[in-house]
Structure 1
């Protein structure tokens, strides 16, 4: 099989698919961050970098069976400017839609922040669904996941899966995990907007404790730290961040820059991991796809 990772980052989709038992004869990836490209090349030396996603209409590659894309989330994020699909970064999903239209893969997977489900972005989300539906031939399903179901960090992300309808042998979602919001659109499905229904406490699991960005043994962050407590905090290490995202230790330590292997700086490793998908979530989604699709 052939994999195309768009907006690939460090290859979290590749890692998750691999963990789910997928094997690929060829991997293509599109990314513009030089450190992400270098790290991807280091960990997947057989993969081929195809440049920027904006050139997807003309790139010469083999027919991909699977296309993945965690398109930029800035304009959908709570911390962003709220411009949604009108924003410079988040509008880049149009190139992923074009890739699906051009290559007609057996499966595609989109990951993004839960902000796409907020009421103010509801029309944008439905426009994305409609764009994929207009390609024709795909059954679309989506669900909101939380990395906290697998690892000790609260990280809510939407996963949308498209599969060629004639290859579907069962549903991917709803996922058998606590409280997952989901929807579907296909031949036998009634579309629903799945927007504006996230509650304040959505995704919180009982007895999971409080997760922190900075940790100190024996201390729990409750949002009201004293100056003395703040002095005792430390940053998470790079390896701790890798583990919180489900990557192997030191996965982001090295990069291939041209013909030279270099150590990636600490600050860049934090950035790479912060932009990555959570590997166990991808594995879980990919496993469900594998078990319910004829060709994968």
Structure 2
């Protein structure tokens, strides 16, 4: 082990603890209020303590850790949400995470945490006339951060203030992992280093990712590679998988845009659209030359786990071996973090610190 410890706020199904474990970082505690995700993470991390509702916690009263991670609620920041921004009832919980970090640092004379990692949707760049991301940066640095001259936040950048280095970067899950994940999932990842200048090394340095075994073995195939399966394996049939862009489909249907509607069906090598907590993704499948015999179906929870880079069956059972409902699994996975992106950052922290 590295000797480094981690606490996970807004923990969900434990992606940051999983990524930390891959980098030999020990997850110590987690804060989550949803019943199913708590049961799932208790199963996988029986030694990790669940400390409850973030709004009722005091950072000085919980075990200090080297790293605090949090993917605070995005409902008010998302381009698909109500766009109330950080002032919204859900996304304003971001400030509770900042409060807990400050309280822990105060109680430990600035020793802990060393690193904070924040994850959120790309809409955080533009919500509230682009002022929300400015507020995020200022919350970490305690320094006034000017708006960029262009009026828009870059997809990667760095600021400093009061001995804190903060770097951010937009990562798309489809370009990460081995093999890369066949899901388009763009998320902002921000790293704050409270002791030096290592945030840039953590977030921008190229490094190999550690992989972990899954139950599916070496013959597992990602959805984007199905059209390249050998004819011998499929008895001469070449399978075609085309994900729907469901939101585009609905909007173009409403506008009676025939060309746009047809285009929403996608192409063979298109990635799956971003998994959402509020809906289930569909795709069409047929064998080459047999389009009329094809069919449409939704992704299964197992397939969603694969699209997130999780070990198969990660969300299937709770800590008492109880089955987790498909509804709860879809919701938890749609709210989740892509494992390869989190693993890249955790590997960087372990390497830098």
TM-score range, shorter-chain basis? 0.7 to 0.9
Instruction: Write out per-residue CA displacement over residues 5-36 of structure 1, whole angstroms, 9 at most, x where no aligned residue.
Output: 000001011111222x2331x51000010011
Q: Equivalents in 1 of 2:46, 2:171: separation in Å?
A: 31
Q: Equivalents in 2 of 1:27, 1:154: separation in Å?
A: 31
What does 1:1-296 correspond to in 2, within 5 Å? 1-19=4-22, 21-24=23-26, 27-57=28-58, 60-104=61-105, 105-118=113-126, 120-134=128-142, 136-150=162-176, 151-166=181-196, 168=198, 171-174=201-204, 209-212=269-272, 213-218=281-286, 232-256=295-319, 260-291=320-351, 293=352, 295=353
Instruction: Write out per-residue CA displacement over residues 25-81 of structure 1, whole angstroms, 9 at most, x where no aligned residue.
Output: x51000010011111111111110000000222673221111000000000001110
Q: Once structures 1 and 2 are overlaid, which stretch shifts more, 245-254 or 10-19?
A: 10-19
Give 1 or 2 for the bigger CA radius of gyration.
2
Maintained 8 Å contact 1:76/1:121: no
The higher-RCO structure (CA 8 Å, 6+ apart) is 1
3-state SS of paired residue (2:202):
coil
TM-score by length of 1: 0.78
Q: Equivalents in 2 of 1:58, 1:116: separation in Å?
A: 25
**Structure 2 unmatched runs, 5+:** 106-112, 144-161, 208-266, 273-280
3-state SS of paired residue (2:321):
strand
TM-score by length of 2: 0.66
Q: Equivalents in 2 of 1:59, 1:217: separation in Å?
A: 54
Maintained 8 Å contact 2:309/2:340: yes
Q: Equivalents in 1 of 2:312, 2:345: separation in Å?
A: 23
Aligned positions, number:
252
Maintained 8 Å contact 2:285/2:296: no
